Amino acid sequence: MDKTLSIVVPCYNERRTLLTVLARVLSVNLEGLRKELIVVDDGSTDGTRDLIRRIEADWRAVFAEQGVPAARLERAAFRCIFQPKNRGKGAAIRTGFDAATGDFVMVQDADLEYDPNDYPRLLAPMLDGRADVVYGSRFAGETRRVLLFWHSIGNQFLTFMSNAFTDLNLTDMETCYKVFRADVIKGLNLKSERFGIEPEITAKIAKLRYRVYEVPITYSGRSYAEGKKIGAKDGFEALWCIFKFSVLDSDYLKAEVVEETLSKMNALERFNRHLYDTIKPWCGKRILEVGAGTGNITRFLLKSGDVVATDVNAASVSRLSDQFQGWDGFEAHAWDVSQPPPAPIEGRRFDTVVCLNVLEHVRDHEAALRNMRDMLAPGGKLVLLVPAGQELYSDLDRNLGHHRRYGRDALVKLLGAAGFRVGEVKWFNLMGVLGWFVNGRVLKRDRLPVGQLGVYEMVAPLVLPVEKRVKLPVGLSLIAVGEPVGSGRAVPGAEGPGASPPRGARKGRRP
């Protein structure tokens, strides 16, 4: 492993401690990791900016004089950024995040409150694939300086309020020490200028259901006489930010609509469980999942059997590999399903091929179905979910990269032409039809509002049990179960390729 940790150091009037902090950061031994040190000065007026410029001129020589081993300096890079004026800690951190180029990103305050020797402990859950985000807790049992009772009560109260809104069980939301996978933190649409950055980050990673770990850290808090800057005003701002970013803000990703929708769907725990419960009767012990995305269904499929998860997006495959690292019976591979299978799965046969919300993204969906058929063992089953109702096709579909929606009869014919005998076709998600029609055809929106998805998740316990017991007359999606016949010959009675792309549909990327 030779990855890079980007360490963002926001500073404002920290001339007395900055050099010591940076030397401590560079001295820490991180086996197999390079360091990228990014100092962001937020308009200091005490000489901090002049100090940073002197360091920048020959930073290796400066830190060698501070006793940093040469081997550590060789595996490090130093950068500095000067904000044109004082904007606040949140703005400085956001600037540093944008500039970071490492595989992992974290924040280091420029005072002496936090100890860089805790880095290996913070990174451990990240490096072994367990975590997407790691918080360092000052209140989880490590050595700490005894100081400022009411300040600690304020921190614990803000953590309590944050947990109440995010449904996390953190012990220290306001901690400086947070480590992120780079794609996680760089994907968030952060807005806070001041100390509201901490509850904002927490609210947004909670909404996206990232895997959060917490580890104990040492802490040497400062008194206000020693330079502590956060006060009661910032506490009230943090309370507002907890509510604002947990409840009001829906624009929490920088991603394009496809990735944004995937992330939002990953957070719909009740809906995803309902979908799995619906397809579970057809799942065998050896499952090939086509288009696994962020793994929102993968984690359920692993309850049924061994899973080989595939996706056209290499970043998704990497994330799946990290997420399920160490799980027996799991593999992840890149595969464009319209092309022949890659070497790791070529020639293998599976009891079940699960393909959910993928086929509509594939221009040559007939080739995709034939490739999936060839991956099935005799008697195996394809479990397919596609968007239903061409009359619902709108900008929502176009922006998601949908080439088409499917009718029931057309889907049966398409499967027959690809060599499947269709055993069952059923409607799915009646509740979603009205929302898709109103947003896409009436309001002409190009993406689903996150607030509506949240409402959907809240009412799901009332609606989804009814869907399980009643045969739906219509739905936003169709589920079809097919069994391969022979070696790809069309089933007698199949008439052509089924649904075709609507006029004007443009080529899109499959999420």
Whole-number pLDDT of residue 147: 59
Strand 104-107 versus strand 178-181 pairing type = antiparallel
Cα gap 202→176, rounded to integer Å: 12
- pLDDT tens readout for residues 88-99: 999 999 999 999
Sorted by where each begins, the domain ranges of the chain are 1-112, 113-254, 257-484
Q: Residue count of the chain, please give it.
A: 511
Cα gap 231→459, rounded to integer Å: 40
* 1-112 and 257-484 agree in CATH topology: no
Q: Two tokens at 83?
A: 């904000």
Whole-number pLDDT of residue 228: 54
pLDDT above 60: residue 255: no
Comparing 116 with 431, the larger pLDDT belongs to 116
Cα gap 72→68, rounded to integer Å: 7
- pLDDT tens readout for residues 403-421: 999 999 999 999 999 999 9
**Which segment of 38-47, 55-64, 220-229 scores lowest on mean pLDDT?**
220-229
**Which segment of 95-104, 228-237, 308-317, 371-380 scores lowest on mean pLDDT?**
228-237
- pLDDT tens readout for residues 339-360: 999 999 999 999 999 999 999 9
pLDDT above 90: residue 388: yes
Closest to 470 (Cα-Cα) out of 430, 499, 424: 430
pLDDT above 80: residue 454: no
Confidence of residue 451 (pLDDT cuts 50, 70, 90): low
pLDDT above 70: residue 493: no
**Number of Cβ atoms within 10 Å of the Cβ of 171:** 18
Helix segments in 219-364, DSSP class H: 232-243, 257-266, 269-279, 298-301, 314-323
- pLDDT tens readout for residues 66-121: 999 999 999 999 999 999 999 999 999 999 999 999 999 999 999 888 999 999 99
Section 247-257 average pLDDT: 64
Comparing 139 with 198, the larger pLDDT belongs to 198
Closest to 363 (Cα-Cα) out of 480, 501, 497, 490: 501
Counting residues of the chain whose pLDDT is more than 70, the rounded percentage is 85
**Which segment of 33-37, 141-145, 387-391, 428-432 scores lowest on mean pLDDT?**
141-145
CATH superfamily of 1-112: Spore Coat Polysaccharide Biosynthesis Protein SpsA; Chain A (3.90.550.10)
**Number of Cβ atoms within 10 Å of the Cβ of 384:** 28
Whole-number pLDDT of residue 438: 92
3-class secondary structure for 34-53?
A: EEEEEEEECCCCCCHHHHHH
240 CA to centre of own chain: 25
* Alpha-carbon distances of 499 from 96, 144, 162, 408, 493, rounded to whole Å: 48, 65, 48, 10, 16
Tell me the CATH number for domain 257-484: 3.40.50.150
Q: What are phi and psi of 33, to 5 degrees?
A: -120, 135
Closest to 318 (Cα-Cα) out of 346, 294, 299: 294
